[in-house]
């Protein structure tokens, strides 16, 4: 049995996100999974995802942290409620606040590995910390504050 990624549980109408929607054929289609208490996502940048030749584009790094962060927020919220991710109603989160510290240039050519950790759940808000690793080193550190999707974004 192949484990389903967090994003594979998103309802179809929430699956067009450029970063993490499985139905957005132009996008990154990232996949996040639990590994114990950490969420993990592996992504292989394209050759053109560069800042300068040889190094990964910071905007891609921010995007991966963002989407892995909201995915982790949703998965953590289901866990906190003792619910499976395919139970109803669906819990979907959007980013209220994104912070990224670029610790060192991220080398292009190897997979990027994101590790997420729940910091806290408080009402509609979930705070998640993310590390982005490349070739055995932490290259960026991020924090995402996700909130339950507002009514005016539901279609």
Residues that bind its own copies (CB under 8 A): 13-14, 16-19, 24-27, 46, 48-55, 57-60, 62-64, 66-67, 94-102, 105, 149-150, 152-155
Euclidean distance between CA atoms 11 and 120, whole angstroms? 25
Burial class (CB in 10 A: 0-12, 13-18, 19+), 101: exposed
Q: Identify which of residues 3 and 25 has a Cβ nearer to its own copies in the complex.
A: 25
Q: Judge whether 70 and 115 are in contact, CB under 8 Å.
A: no
User: Nearest approach, Cβ of 28 to its own copies (angstroms)?
Assistant: 8
User: Nearest approach, Cβ of 54 to its own copies (angstroms)?
Assistant: 6
Q: Identify which of residues 22 and 49 has a Cβ nearer to its own copies in the complex.
A: 49
Determine how β-strand 137-148 pairs with β-strand 38-43: unpaired
């Amino acid at each position: 049995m192949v484990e389903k990624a967090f994003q594979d549980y998103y309802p179809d109408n929430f699956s067009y996100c450029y970063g993490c929607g499985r139905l957005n054929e132009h996008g990154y289609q990232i996949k996040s999974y639990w590994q114990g208490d950490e969420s993990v996502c592996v992504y292989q940048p394209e050759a053109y995802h560069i800042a300068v030749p040889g190094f990964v584009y910071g905007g891609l790094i921010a995007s991966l942290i963002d989407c892995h962060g909201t995915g982790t927020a949703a998965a953590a919220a289901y866990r906190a409620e003792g619910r499976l991710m395919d139970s109803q109603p669906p819990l979907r989160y959007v980013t209220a606040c994104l912070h990224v510290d670029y610790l060192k240039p991220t080398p292009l050519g190897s997979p990027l590995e994101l590790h997420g950790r729940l910091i806290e759940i408080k009402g509609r808000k979930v705070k998640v910390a993310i590390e982005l690793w490349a070739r055995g080193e932490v290259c960026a550190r991020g924090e995402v504050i996700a909130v339950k999707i507002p009514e005016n974004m539901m279609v």
